[in-house]
Amino acid sequence: WKEWHPGFPLSIDAHSHSDLPRDIQFDNEKGIDFILNYSKAMENLYINRFMHMFQSSWSDFADFERIFVRISNTISEYVMQHWKEDFMFGYQFLNGCNPVLIQRCTEIPKKLPVTMDMVECSLERNLTLEEEVKQGNIFIVDYELLDGVDANKTDPCTIQYLAAPICLLYKNLENKIVPIAIQLGQKPGPDNPIFLPSDATYDWLLAKIWVRSSDFHIHQTVTHLLRTHLVSEVFSIAMFRQLPAVHPLFKLLVPHMRFTIAINTKAREQLICECGLFDKANATGGGGHVQMVQKAMKDLTYSSLCFPEEIKAKGMDSKEDIPYYYYRDDGIKVWESVKSFAEDVIHIYYESDEVVCEDVELQAFIKDIYVYGMRGVKASGFPKMIRTREKLAEYLTVIIFTTSAQHAAVNFGQYDWCSWIPNAPPTMRRPPPTEKGTVTIEQIVESLPDRGRSCWHLGAVWALSQFQDNELFLGMYPDEHFVEKPVKEAMAKFRKNLDEIVSAITERNKNKKLPYYYLSPDRIPNSVAV
């Protein structure tokens, strides 16, 4: 173990990929060279011709199309055509690449002094705002975590800005989620107005762009880096340290740890290190992303990694109330089938709870995760030991689900949702507006990333969204660590369950303009390897 930054989950004690034990390195180190891959991505996307234009602004929204690669009939193209619409903005909170922040609003927070007068024209049920809240029709996304985070200062020629917005959303009569109020800072006041759909077109559009940019930062650093990559690395290190290769739980988990330590080591070497690629185009580069992970650690709890519990805690569990939340629907199906598989394997090797308690290797594994990964923080809710088969099944489900499904859900949609740059600006070059009625299209374009940063961003989201050449998807276990017949049968049952989920998702997505497929098991790699 090694501490990479104070307060982070501990990571592997290695400076570079070549320091790692050979058996956990990538087969081919060139394949994961970020510098090479991003440059290759920019060549493939034919955008390297703009690379020397750091600092130069685009001329208008249409100009962004000069680097936008048209892959027809895809989500990315749909985003480009519809990104300004309130429906599209709201939809992404449910089914975009960061579908984990939205929660039901049980009361309007004091720091967001929205009045009935402000939002009346957005409400469709002839109810007051209070009544809409009581009926469960109001939702909220709060980017408080970004408050006080330092913006990137690594380029003296470009001042970059961050905001910490609060966004109020409404479920309309069509059951669509749409924004009804946006405040761009945490402290209410005359220079922090609440922007509304009834405001001037560009005022409202810029407010939404600021929310999308803030969402991008939380997505990259908290949802993706901390809550999938770093957590999976903790599971991986603890497994290699404490479970011998003949242990059934080692055999169960090892396919879900493939290349995770390697990819994270490479990322610390080239991507998120000081002066790494992350600093080039992101407003949270240059140290802001480190502050964000440190702040986000307090919300990294065991229950928040239990998928159904986390959905419920956010008040987002009712299919009847919120019918178009495919991330939730597909995630729960995958969670259930992983859990059922974990239970089957546990029942083969542990005939009673007593056997679980007495498995010293298992207990050392659990303890390692708590002490080093979670830094021994009691409030994390991570168990120090496991006493029952039921709890063990849940714990193994958390590990397998996080390393496979959760990572897939938040990683592989990045090109779809973030390649149209006004929909996910990685940086903003003007401060958030402090008054209404002054925003022009020129001002918006000058706020958005310059040409050079746009190209880096596009190369990055494209490279991150690619599967490996020899990708192994959920339920594919070609290495045959297990030889016992009952486990082979459990695996066959698991694959059958997963195939049924694939069929159901394929059926649902038929003829949809915006299909949701990130949690389809045939698109969920076994491990965090990109």
Q: What's the confidence (pLDDT) of residue 68? A: 62
Q: Nearest 10 degrees: CA dihedral of 491, 492, 495, 497?
A: -110
Q: Could you tell me which residues come within 8 angstroms of residue 131 by beta carbon, excluding any fewer than 6 positions away?
A: none
Phi, psi of 415 (to 5 degrees): -70, -45
Q: What's the confidence (pLDDT) of residue 469? A: 79
15 assigned ligand-binding residue: no
Tokens of 385: 């030991």
DSSP 25: S
Q: Is residue 452 a contact partner of residue 399, using CB atoms and an 8 Å limit?
A: no
Give Cα 327 distance to the centre of its chain.
Answer: 12
- How many angstroms separate the CA atoms of 318 and 312, rounded? 8
List alpha helices for 377-484, DSSP H.
389-401, 407-411, 414-418, 441-447, 451-464
Written as tens digits, the pLDDT of the chain (530 aa) is 999 999 999 999 999 999 999 999 988 765 566 667 767 766 666 655 565 555 678 777 777 776 666 555 589 989 999 999 999 999 999 999 999 999 999 999 999 999 999 999 999 999 999 999 999 999 999 999 999 999 999 999 999 999 999 999 999 999 999 999 999 999 999 999 999 999 999 999 999 999 999 999 999 999 999 999 999 999 999 999 999 999 999 999 999 999 999 999 999 988 888 888 888 889 999 999 999 999 999 999 999 999 999 999 999 999 999 999 999 999 999 999 999 999 999 999 999 999 999 999 999 999 999 999 999 999 999 999 999 999 999 999 999 999 999 999 999 999 999 999 999 999 999 999 999 999 999 999 999 999 888 888 888 888 888 888 789 999 999 999 999 999 999 999 999 999 999 999 999 999 999 999 999 999 999 999 98
Q: What's the confidence (pLDDT) of residue 313? A: 98
- How many angstroms separate the CA atoms of 2 and 361, rounded? 22
Q: Is residue 162 a contact partner of residue 146, using CB atoms and an 8 Å limit?
A: yes
Phi, psi of 335 (to 5 degrees): -55, -50
Q: What's the confidence (pLDDT) of residue 46? A: 61
Place of tokens 């104070």: 6
Hey, CA dihedral for 86, 90, 95, 99, is it positive or negative?
positive
Contacts made by residues 186-194, CB under 8 angstroms, sequence distance 24+ = 186/111, 186/144, 186/147, 187/111, 188/111, 188/112, 188/113, 191/434, 191/435, 192/434, 193/433, 193/434, 193/435, 193/436, 194/112, 194/113, 194/114, 194/118
Give Cα 352 distance to the centre of its chain.
Answer: 37
**DSSP β-bridge partners for residue 177:** 171
Tokens of 324: 């178009």
- How many angstroms separate the CA atoms of 418 and 460, rounded? 10
Count H helices and E strands in the chain, helices first: 22, 5
Q: Could you tell me which residues come within 8 angstroms of residue 431 by beta carbon, excluding any fewer than 6 positions away?
A: 161
Q: Residue 253: count other Cβ atoms within 10 Å of its Cβ.
A: 22
Give Cα 484 distance to the centre of its chain.
Answer: 37
Tokens of 193: 């107005």
407 assigned ligand-binding residue: yes
Name the pairing type of β-strands 103-104 and 177-183: unpaired
Which CATH class, in words, describes the domain spanning 17-523? mainly alpha
**DSSP β-bridge partners for residue 167:** 141, 182
Domain coordinates in residue numbering, the chain: 17-523
pLDDT digits (tens, 9 = 90+) for 216-237: 999 999 999 999 999 999 999 9
Provide the phi-psi class of 10: left if phi over 0, else alpha when psi is between -120 and 50, else beta.
beta
Q: Is residue 453 a contact partner of residue 427, using CB atoms and an 8 Å limit?
A: yes
Read off the amino acid at residue 267.
A
Q: What's the confidence (pLDDT) of residue 401? A: 98
Name the pairing type of β-strands 177-183 and 166-171: antiparallel
Q: Distances in Å between the alpha carbon of 52 and those of 34, 156, 284, 306, 495? A: 19, 17, 22, 45, 49
Place of tokens 């762009």: 209
224 assigned ligand-binding residue: yes
Q: Is residue 375 a contact partner of residue 529, using CB atoms and an 8 Å limit?
A: no
Q: Would you call 261 helix, strand, or coil by DSSP? A: helix
